[in-house]
Amino acid sequence: MKKFFLLILALTLIILTACSGNKDEGTENLDELKMLEVEFEVPEKADVGETILLKAVVTYGDEKVDDADEVNFEYWEEGNEDDSTTIESTNNGDGTYTAEITFERDGVFSIYAHTTARALHTMPKKSVIVGKGDVE
């Protein structure tokens, strides 16, 4: 009976050792995970009637993404998100996507850079103060 118990114990240890022998394989896959990132550039302030440049620099890991599925800019006056406007960007072919907008009144406007690439979606948000900012 002791021999049978020792045999089962030895087989169990061999199986457990064999299954745990490649611990590094799981961590190698973690090192390979890449994130879709967007560096969204917007001026903090603008004058009424001034045309401003919206710029999104899209990267996936260390590589610039020059073939994003979508990069659109959605903007609205703060407190009025239901009345938003979406404009398409221009793909500059170097990982940057740009568009121009002009605000015709004072206010604080929020802007999303809706970005889809490599089956991932992200939407960083920035704000711009136009003219005197909040109008009460």
Contact 49, 104 (CB under 8 A): yes
- Residue 70 falls within a domain, yes or no? yes
Contact present, 97 and 90 (Cβ < 8 Å): yes
Residue 38, C-beta contacts closer than 8 angstroms, at least 6 positions apart? 56, 57, 58, 59, 113, 115, 122, 124
CATH number of the CATH domain containing 117: 2.60.40.10
Domain range for 14 = 2-31
pLDDT tens digits for range 74-130: 999 999 889 999 999 999 999 999 999 999 999 999 999 999 999 999 999 999 999
Q: Is residue 83 part of a domain?
A: yes
The model's pTM: 0.74
Classify 7 in phi/psi space as left (phi over 0), alpha (psi -120 to 50) or beta: alpha
Q: Classify residue 135: in a domain, yes or no.
A: no
Count of the separate structural domains present in the chain: 2
Q: What is the pLDDT of residues 30-69, one digit of tens each?
A: 556 889 999 999 999 999 999 999 999 999 999 999 999 9
In this structure, what token pair is assigned to residue 19?
């299954």
